[in-house]
A = this chain, B = another copy of it.
């Protein structure tokens, strides 16, 4: 215990109060993510959050201005995490085919490992275009997301870059990925979704390659396997 405190002593010299506040805030974030996923962003009340976090209602307002603030924060956080997955890879990517494969994998793992964040992003995405009384602040994260996709794809599209074209492609990829998972959630059980991804993988990438007008350079591992 003492050791722990010493080790953390130089860690920005957080007082015990600060750490308590941090813990509380984290509890609120975790609880909010849970209930947002369960009830939906709109249907969730502040008390849903504080009850789930096992905290008093007033506590919420010490940490967030209102529901929108915490929702925006979580959407932003989730996008950050997804972008981090999109950016980082150990493999060196040289072809469009590899790039798409990586994109698919990253999204898929995000969907599996951060299911709640996926659902949250899905919800937030919708809200963006509704002329709501609240929330224009949510547009930013999705723009960042689309721009990251553009950045990853553009090196492989060659030719002079028409921003409009790249944007279309990014929308297509994002739509494809998010759309598939979201409909799969309706039409299948979770295990079925999981067992579908592997066989879908090649077709998925091939179809996106085709979408980009480039067929994968005859990779041996599949001829006409068509094993979706």
Residues of A within 8 A of B (CB): 37-43, 119, 122-123, 125-133, 139, 142-143, 146, 164-165, 167-172, 174-188, 192, 196, 200, 203-204, 206-213, 224, 226, 228
Tell me the nearest residue of chain B to A146, going by C-beta. B187
Whether A180 and B171, one on each chain, are in contact in the complex, defined by CB atoms closer than 8 angstroms, is yes
Instruction: For the complex of A and B, list the 4 residue pairs with the smallest distance between their C-beta atoms, beginning with the closest.
Output: A179-B179, A175-B179, A42-B42, A213-B226
Q: How many copies does the complex hold?
A: 2
Given A40-B130, A40-B132, A174-B167 contact (CB < 8 Å): no
A184 — which chain B residues lie within 8 A by C-beta? 168, 171, 175
A200 — which chain B residues lie within 8 A by C-beta? 168, 172
A37 — which chain B residues lie within 8 A by C-beta? 130
Task: Determine the main DSSP class of A at the interface with B.
Answer: helix
12 contacts between A and B (CB under 8 A): A38-B130, A40-B126, A125-B183, A139-B186, A143-B187, A171-B184, A175-B176, A175-B184, A176-B176, A179-B179, A179-B180, A207-B211
A160 to B175, CA, bound (A): 30
Choose among B43, B129, B174, B180 the residue that contacts A172 (Cβ–Cβ < 8 A).
Answer: B180
A165 — which chain B residues lie within 8 A by C-beta? 228
Choose among B143, B177, B188 the residue that contacts A179 (Cβ–Cβ < 8 A).
Answer: B177
Whether A119 and B130, one on each chain, are in contact in the complex, defined by CB atoms closer than 8 angstroms, is yes
Whether A131 and B38, one on each chain, are in contact in the complex, defined by CB atoms closer than 8 angstroms, is yes
Write the nearest CB–CB distance from A11 to chain B, whole angstroms. Answer: 38
Whether B210 and A203, one on each chain, are in contact in the complex, defined by CB atoms closer than 8 angstroms, is yes
Given A123-B126, A192-B164, A132-B43 contact (CB < 8 Å): yes
Write the nearest CB–CB distance from A150 to chain B, whole angstroms. Answer: 9
